[in-house]
Amino acid sequence: MPAEASGALLGAASERLQQARRWVVKIGSSLLTADGTGLDLDAMAAWAQALAPRLAQGDEIILVSSGAVAEGARRLGYGTRPANLEAIQAAAAVGQVGLIDAWAKVLSAEGRTVGLVLLTHDDLSDRTRYLNARGTLRTLLAHGAIPVINENDTVATEELRFGDNDTLAALVANLMAADVLVLMTDQEGLRVRDPRLDPSAPLLACAAASDPSLDAMAGPTGGTLGRGGMVTKLRAARLAARSGALTAIVSGRTPKALTSLFAGAPAGTLLVPDQAPLAARKRWIAGQLQTRGTVLLDAGAARAVQAQGRSLLAVGVRGLRGSFARGEVVACEDPAGVVVARGLVNFSAEELGVIQGCATDEIPARLGYPGAQEVIHRDDLVVL
């Protein structure tokens, strides 16, 4: 990226930080649990103190906090993160108690009440529960409380997991239309090369979230306690960008990093959204991590959907995979096998199998009853 372009982005990012009023701050397991030795109350207190100035200005802050499974594993004597589902759920049940108690203690010292919100992917994939979660969080913020959000590991199965709390934090940023997503990690930020392979690799100060060159900079995922890594943080930044949120990747072990951000000064790596924010309904569609099926598009339909912003019509459908009902989220795949969009389908898999490839005015005769004119209307379609 040219220096002048990077400088312009950095200036825009600094302005966004100064104007931000709603923040989502995610803190990872290795930071919260001091690499597995128990919750680090001193560090948690320091982060709570860093939040205080922006809270005093009337800003709204939502915490996405890892650490329950790691803390529970320590309390139950596992030593490391357990591998089987039942042990993970048991560790989460024990650790969640200690985690929220610790946050309540350090934030009450700053005059703040906390509210615990546990989520699974199922909660955010169901439209009604999604809106209910948003209403709960808005009410907590209106009362000056700080929501502390974590994945509900006590009940989540592998199929319903977010995969990592970076993704959860990005979905919360979308849910709440946050201005800034802060991903705190044990690294200073994203480096231009994997620092585990090249310790001298310089830090990337600022870039557009969609810049494809960033993919080569992200290294392998996760450590022994967490499930994330720079790959998941980059993915989260791109997801958060869909609602217009700036993402900051900063070190949780650099005491002044969070303080700098809250003061409006750049820190770590700033990833700037470079696309118009999606409408709330489309943000929900874009945030679906699992789809119910796949609709196979011919080349003309893929071009119309991806490049022209058109609705998907039955004439452009050449096949489908999976079993889905009307109103569920499906993926749209082009002839090369690339998923180019996802959206809310107006026909069941059985109905679509009957009408695929036919003109719109032929649909009633094919089905034997009137149907929608579009397989997926453009208002319910998100290009990826």
Same domain, 214 and 123: yes
pTM of the model: 0.82
Across residues 373-379, what is the average pLDDT?
93
Which pLDDT score is estimated for 296? 98
- How far, in Å, CA of 314 to CA of 298, rounded? 11
Question: Per mean pLDDT, which range of 45-54, 116-125, 131-140, 234-243 is the poorest?
Answer: 116-125
The average confidence (pLDDT) of the chain is: 87
* 241 vs 5, higher pLDDT: 241
- How far, in Å, CA of 68 to CA of 88, rounded? 10
Cβ–Cβ under 8 Å, residues 323 and 294: no
Closest C-alpha to 53, from 253, 270, 260? 260
Same domain, 137 and 269: yes
Which pLDDT score is estimated for 263? 87
* DSSP H stretches of helix in the chain: 3-19, 29-32, 41-56, 68-75, 85-108, 121-125, 127-142, 165-176, 214-217, 230-241, 257-262, 280-286, 299-308, 349-355, 363-367
Polymer length of the chain: 384
Question: Per mean pLDDT, which range of 85-89, 182-186, 295-299 is the poorest?
Answer: 85-89
- How far, in Å, CA of 376 to CA of 293, rounded? 13
Give the domain CATH number at 364.
2.30.130.10
Q: How far lies 135's CA from each of 131, 165, 246, 307, in Å?
A: 6, 21, 23, 35
Same domain, 40 and 174: yes
Note whether residue 284 is domain-resident: no
Same domain, 127 and 59: yes
Which pLDDT score is estimated for 302? 97
Question: Which burial class, exposed, middle or buried, applies to 272 when counting CB atoms under 10 A from its CB (0-12, 13-18, 19+)?
Answer: buried
Give the domain CATH number at 154.
3.40.1160.10
Which pLDDT score is estimated for 162? 55
Q: Which of 279, 304, 339 is the last residue of a domain?
A: 279
Strand 60-65 relative to strand 146-151, pairing: parallel
Note whether residue 120 is domain-resident: yes
Same domain, 295 and 275: no
What are 352-362's pLDDT values in tens digits?
999 999 999 99
Question: Tokens representing 79?
Answer: 């030593």
What are 16-67's pLDDT values in tens digits?
899 999 999 999 888 888 665 678 999 999 999 999 989 999 999 999 998 8
pLDDT higher than threshold 80 for residue 2: no
* 113 vs 231, higher pLDDT: 113
Which pLDDT score is estimated for 135? 93
Token pair 């809270």: residue: 55
Range of the domain at 298: 291-383
SS3 198: coil
* 305 vs 213, higher pLDDT: 305
